[in-house]
Structure 1
Amino acid sequence: MTQEIYQEAIKFAAEKHQYQTVPGTESSYLWHISNVAMEIMMAHQIKSNFDLNYAVQLALLHDTLEDTDTEYLELEDKFGVEVAQGVKVLTKNNNLTSKKERMLDSLKRINEMPKEVGAVKLADRITNLQKPPRNWTKEKIQYYWDEAKLINQTLQDKNEYLNKRLDNKIAEYEVYAK
């Protein structure tokens, strides 16, 4: 991976997410996206059977369409069609009415893309399975835990290392869900 690719993507993401914090914390959103990228880099170190440059760009940019004012064409112009399409697939379709529909649609679209896109989804959920925010209800925590299991099962063939990491995080998260 070239440092320039990483630096360009994280600078773009930092500017786009500059006023956003990780839900339930005072931490900059960069904490989340850099952790997703770190999970991808660790997976690549274990087994280098995927395009690290592509996956890291997706990791750093995965929430730009969903959570910022970034436009698809802006991503395409700056990072290319392949990265823009990957980020778009990682973006939930808010035209669907229920959370469950949005997740099932997202997983279906992810499974139609290269394995790097699925690896980023796995890495994203790994980093999100922290102690839940205090304002989350027991039902929301349980739903999030069940959703993590669905993600891991549906994306079972994307990255063995990340699937195992997510399995472990799911097991650790059970204390909050039960």
Structure 2
Amino acid sequence: MNISQRKANNWSQEIYLKAFHKAAKAHHGQTIPGSQIPYITHLSIVSMEVIAALSIERERDGDLAIQCAILHDIIEDTNTTFAEIKTEFGAAVANGVMALTKNAHLDKHLQMADSLQRIKQNPPEIWMVKLADRISNLQAPPHYWDLNKIIKYREEGIQIYEALQDGSPFLAARLARKIEDYKIFCTSV
């Protein structure tokens, strides 16, 4: 990457591609729950949200944010280990991905609070990923969710917003709009 490219972006396309290829291989064959859409699509949307924020919040470490955005589900949803991510992408990325990974040993109702607490111990770039992840996920809920699940999911979105809004004003505003728009699904199923 030459100097003019570095000034134009606060992230590297080569680093993006390395993480993307790793995620594509690890998540191969997985689909977005309730659909036939390849899971890599979700990871692309989350990274797109982060890239949009990085274009405004230029002081952020874009490479850290983008790698964590693309890899945020790799430990949780594949056989990829923390050690593998640390070796290939470094400690900061591995720690960020681990913070974004739900602790499956906890009861489900405790997992979000635990995850948010761990995310807050990391740099704001990791906060950005969680905000972008929920923005991506606040689409029309899967057809098999009942009203209670839909309401709880929106409430989790509010919990994420309240805990992490200082990590990215741009993404916090996007998430606030998504939470508001999601109300439509909370009144009928």
| Fold similarity call, TM over 0.5 | yes
What residue in structure 2 maps to residue 167 of structure 1?
Answer: 176
Q: Deviations over 1:133-166 (max 9, x none)?
A: 0001111101000000010001121000000000
Could you tell me how far apart the structure 1 residues matched to 2:165 and 2:97 are? 20
Larger Rg: 2
1:38-117 counterparts in 2 under 5 A?
Answer: 38-97=48-107, 99-117=108-126
> What amino acid does structure 2 have at the position aligned with 1:115?
P
| Segments of 4+ moved more than 2 angstroms | none
What residue in structure 1 maps to residue 5 of structure 2?
Answer: none
1:30 is aligned to 2:40:
yes
**Partner SS state of residue 157, structure 1:** helix
**Partner SS state of residue 126, structure 1:** helix
Could you tell me how far apart the structure 1 residues matched to 2:133 and 2:37 are? 16
Q: Deviations over 1:19-73 (max 9, x none)?
A: 1101111111111000000000000112212100110000000000000010111
Could you tell me how far apart the structure 1 residues matched to 2:47 and 2:53 are? 10
> What amino acid does structure 2 have at the position aligned with 1:174?
K
Could you tell me how far apart the structure 2 residues matched to 1:114 and 1:146 are? 24
Deviation for aligned residue 1:177: 1.4
Aligned with residue 139 of structure 2, among 130, 138, 147: 130
What residue in structure 1 maps to residue 16 of structure 2?
Answer: 6
Q: State TM-score, norm by structure 2.
A: 0.92
Stretches of structure 1 that go unaligned for 5 or more consecutive residues are none
Q: State TM-score, norm by structure 1.
A: 0.98
**Partner SS state of residue 118, structure 1:** helix
Could you tell me how far apart the structure 1 residues matched to 2:33 and 2:159 are? 22
Stretches of structure 2 that go unaligned for 5 or more consecutive residues are 1-10
> Aligned-residue CA RMSD in angstroms?
0.7
Could you tell me how far apart the structure 1 residues matched to 2:56 and 2:35 are? 31
Could you tell me how far apart the structure 1 residues matched to 2:165 and 2:178 are? 15
> What amino acid does structure 1 have at the position aligned with 2:132?
A
> What amino acid does structure 2 have at the position aligned with 1:15?
K
What residue in structure 1 maps to residue 7 of structure 2?
Answer: none
Could you tell me how far apart the structure 2 residues matched to 1:73 and 1:177 are? 40
Q: Percent same amino acid among aligned pairs?
A: 45
1:154 is aligned to 2:163:
yes
Q: Deviations over 1:105-138 (max 9, x none)?
A: 0001111110001110000000000100000111
**Partner SS state of residue 77, structure 1:** helix
